[in-house]
Amino acid sequence: MAGIGFELRKLLRTESYLGLLRAYTYASIISSGPWVFSIVGLIAIGVLSIGTVYPDALIVQFQVTVTYLIMSSLIVTGGLQLAFTRWVADRLFEKRDRAVVPNFLGVTLVTTAASGTLAWLFAWIGFRDASNLYRVLLIAGFALMSNIWVATVLLSGLKQYRAILLLYAGGYGLSVTLAWALRPLGVEGLFAGFLGGQFAMWFGMVALILRNFPLREPISLECFGRRQMYPELLLAGFFYNLGVWIDKLVFWYSEQTSQHVIGWMRASVIYDLPVFLAYLCVIPGMGIFLVKFETDFVEWYDKFYDAVREGGSLQDIAHYHDRMQETVREGLYQIMKVQTITLLAVYTFVPSLFAWIGISDLYIPLFLVHAAAASFQVMLLAVLNVLYYLDRRREVVAVTVTLTVLNVALSLLSITLGAEFFGYGLALALLGALMLALWLAQRLFRKLEYLTFMLQ
């Protein structure tokens, strides 16, 4: 997300508390916006459909379907998102701007073909009991969601954060509206409406990309060539997304925690809702993440490498190294602080809040564990981001694989231990991966200059 720094720095320089607040708020909205819209959008469609769509199970079918689509498309394209972003960044660095859009279209083509085929197989084999319209929407939806991630990632690579935010707001607004309008048609209506909004959003993204980068060369698959994308990034992107979703899969497919919804899809009533709500608690942490790691850290990072390249003294280099390290430490500490305060506030207000919304207070303990887990995830994201900046791709793979393995193992364990341990699997897995990432980052910082100079 490099590049947001400039706008944020301007806000931060106002030297007033109000300016500071504005900067952090802006950062929070920028960084959390897209997924907040998706969660709120999904819940809104559900709430608006109550009383119109019968039975309520159909609403659940719709919400679960969309959740599965989001999850599976994120996991399937996770590697490509990371590797392609890096590929684009490398081309921009080479001043080969013209190659970006032809390859984006190439990636779109491949994504559509691969995800479409995959979804078609699933719809054909796994959803014999569903209607044909549902199956067609499933296939189209999977291809569409996969393409939305690819386009989002390119736009954030091109530093169009504000545009992304507006597109998501508009897209989910339209999804909610269309779903509301089509709700009389049941689950297929809700689904079609939702996808209509998503399609408009994707269309807007592509239009924006083509407006910024007019197509001057034919569509290209260059980025899929040998030695074009880093295999470690493909792995890291895949395992990160798998790692943060796999506990849900474990709960969905364990007999005692789940029930059948539609086709191969199962859901866990007890597990899913707290997870989604918990993610709303990390908005402040994400703001800090953006300011500290994408603004302050990058500033020292740039100075460090400038000093390395342009002949600074060793003392200067060491100084910028220290400041980089300090920023990481400070950033993690601040995320921890703001998340603790948030969790304390949530802890105080959540019973009355849940009562007001009408959610059983049985969910509260699990919700709190999940909120803590989500806070760990923000910190993990921050440290991984540092490792990406310092180009330690193998370390990132190690961390994300660890996350996946721990999350499966501990989630399974938590199910056998009983309901009061639910959620701890994810939380501990994230904590473990975070510790590993911190240890690797610390080891890296100890020998950063050595690695920078002596391994060339």
Partner 1 sequence: MNTMPADLVPPPGTRIDVMLLLEGTYPYVSGGVSSWVHQIVSGFADLQFHIVFIGSRPEDYAQPRYQMPKNVVGLTHHYLFSEAVLPPPREWRGDPRTAEVVERLHDELRRKQHAAARAELLARSLKLMREDMTLAYLLHSHESWRYMTEQYQLRCTDPSFVDYFWTVRTMHTPLWTLADLAEQLPPARVYHTVSTGYAGYLGAVLSRRHHRPLVLSEHGIYTKERRIDLFSAQWISDNLPVLERTAGETGYFRELWIRMFESLGQMCYDAADPVIALYETNRQRQIADGADARTTCNIANGIHVGPFAATRTQRPEVPPPVMCLIGRVVPIKDVKTFIRAVRVASNRIPELEGWIAGPEDENPEYARECRELTRSLDLEHKVRFLGFQKLVELMPKIGLVVLSSISEALPLVLLEGYAAGVPAVTTDVGSCKQLIYGLGPEDEALGASGEVVGIADAQALGQACARLLSDPDAYRRAQSAGIERVERYYTQPLMFEKYRLVYEDALARSEARQRGVPDEVGRVATILRGEAPWPAREESA
| Binding stretches for partner 1 (CB under 8 A) | 308-314, 317, 447, 449-451, 453-456
Q: Which residue's CB is nearer to partner 1, number 131 or number 442?
A: 442
- 73 neighbors 245 (Cβ within 8 angstroms): no
Of 285, 284, 292, nearest in space to 386 by CA: 292
With tokens 């979703």, the residue in question is: 245
Q: Which residue's CB is nearer to partner 1, number 337 or number 394?
A: 394
State the minimum distance, in angstroms, from the CB of residue 451 to partner 1: 7
CA dist 437 and 381 (Å) reads 10
127 three-state secondary structure: coil
Q: Which residue's CB is nearer to partner 1, number 96 or number 446?
A: 446
Of 101, 77, 79, nearest in space to 91 by CA: 101
Q: Which residues contact 179 (CB under 8 A, 6 or more apart)?
A: 45, 48, 49, 62, 189, 190, 191, 193, 194, 197
State the minimum distance, in angstroms, from the CB of residue 299 to partner 1: 20
What crossing angle do the helices spanning 269-279 and 364-389 adopt, rounded to 10°?
Answer: 50
391 three-state secondary structure: coil
Q: Which residue's CB is nearer to partner 1, number 51 or number 311?
A: 311
CA dist 406 and 391 (Å) reads 24
State the minimum distance, in angstroms, from the CB of residue 240 to partner 1: 25
Q: Which residue's CB is nearer to partner 1, number 232 or number 272?
A: 232
Q: Which residue's CB is nearer to partner 1, number 20 or number 444?
A: 444
Q: Which residues contact 408 (CB under 8 A, 6 or more apart)?
A: 246, 247, 250
State the minimum distance, in angstroms, from the CB of residue 392 to partner 1: 12
Q: Which residues contact 452 (CB under 8 A, 6 or more apart)?
A: 308
DSSP H or E stretch at residue 261 = strand 259-262
State the minimum distance, in angstroms, from the CB of residue 318 to partner 1: 9
Q: Which residue's CB is nearer to partner 1, number 16 or number 313?
A: 313
- 225 neighbors 120 (Cβ within 8 angstroms): no
State the minimum distance, in angstroms, from the CB of residue 214 to partner 1: 36
With tokens 């684009």, the residue in question is: 88
Q: Which residue's CB is nearer to partner 1, number 7 or number 449?
A: 449
State the minimum distance, in angstroms, from the CB of residue 316 to partner 1: 8
Q: Which residue's CB is nearer to partner 1, number 347 or number 453?
A: 453
Q: Which residue's CB is nearer to partner 1, number 224 or number 445?
A: 445
Compute CA distances 449 → 294, 306, 442, whole Å: 22, 13, 13
In degrees, to the nearest 5, what angle opens at C-alpha 363 toward C-alphas 407 and 243? 15
State the minimum distance, in angstroms, from the CB of residue 225 to partner 1: 24
Q: Which residue's CB is nearer to partner 1, number 218 or number 311?
A: 311
Measured from the Cβ of residue 351, the count of other Cβ atoms closer than 10 Å reads: 11
DSSP H or E stretch at residue 267 = strand 265-267
- 226 neighbors 196 (Cβ within 8 angstroms): no
Q: Which residues contact 456 (CB under 8 A, 6 or more apart)?
A: none
State the minimum distance, in angstroms, from the CB of residue 288 to partner 1: 33
State the minimum distance, in angstroms, from the CB of residue 83 to partner 1: 23
State the minimum distance, in angstroms, from the CB of residue 304 to partner 1: 12
